[in-house]
Structure 1
Amino acid sequence: MHELGVVIKVVKTVEDFAKKNGVKKIDTLVLQIGELSSMIPRYIEACYPAAVDGTLMQDTKLKIEILPGNGRCNNCYKVFNLIKSHSQCPNCSSDEWELLSGKEFLIKEIIAC
């Protein structure tokens, strides 16, 4: 489970940001995770308490937003969800597409108290 190491790095990044900007308490951390990324949201949620224990963020809430894995068909240019369509265009059945979104792992928002 590589998620723990990633979450520890996120916590460090957020704490550094908070210190540089005079933020004393953080209420909520919002992460965006693409459904095609290598991060598994339930693992992120499971290891979050251990990663924030003893830090400025130990009382923060974690909110995760899942970003869809979308592609655009190279044949008919339809935008579609790659997972729901099994990587095949639902409009023309082409399996040639360009990835538009879904690999993201972002700190979207830090909500201070």
Structure 2
Amino acid sequence: MHELGVVIEVVKTVENFAVRNKLTKIDTVVLQIGELSSMIPKYIEDCYPAAVDGTLLESTKLKVEILPANAICRSCNKVYNLLQNKKECPFCKNKSWELLSGREFLIKEIVAY
């Protein structure tokens, strides 16, 4: 499970940001995880308490937003979700597409108070 190592790096990144910006209280960390990323959101959520233990983020909440695996059809130029449509354009049935989103793993927001 590589998620723990990734979450520890997220915690370090957020702590460094907080120090540089003189934030003393952080309420929530918001992550965006693409449907096609190698991260499993449930594992990220499960690892978070251990990763923040003893850090500036110890009492923070974690919010995870899932980004859809969207593609654009190379034939009809319509956007659709790859996973929901089994990698086939629901409009023209073509299987040639270009990925638009879904591989992301981002720190979207740090909510401080």
Distance in 2 separating the partners of 1:17 and 1:36: 27
Distance in 1 separating the partners of 2:54 and 2:25: 13
Aligned to 2:73: 73
1:1-113 matches, within 5 Å, as 1-113=1-113
Task: Give 5+ residue unaligned stretches, structure 2.
Answer: none
Distance in 1 separating the partners of 2:78 and 2:30: 30
Q: 1:25-80 deviations in whole A, cap 9, x for unaligned?
A: 10000000011111100000000000000000000000001111000000111100
Q: TM-score, normalised by structure 2?
A: 0.99
Number of residue pairs matched? Answer: 113
In structure 1, give the amino acid aligned to 2:27: D
Q: What fraction of aligned residue pairs are identical, expressed as a percent?
A: 69
In structure 2, give the amino acid aligned to 1:45: E
Distance in 2 separating the partners of 1:47 and 1:109: 19
Distance in 1 separating the partners of 2:48 and 2:95: 37
C-alpha RMSD of matched pairs (Å): 0.5
| TM-aligned CA deviation for residue 17 of structure 1 | 0.4
In structure 2, give the amino acid aligned to 1:36: L
Q: TM-score, normalised by structure 1?
A: 0.99
Distance in 1 separating the partners of 2:62 and 2:85: 30
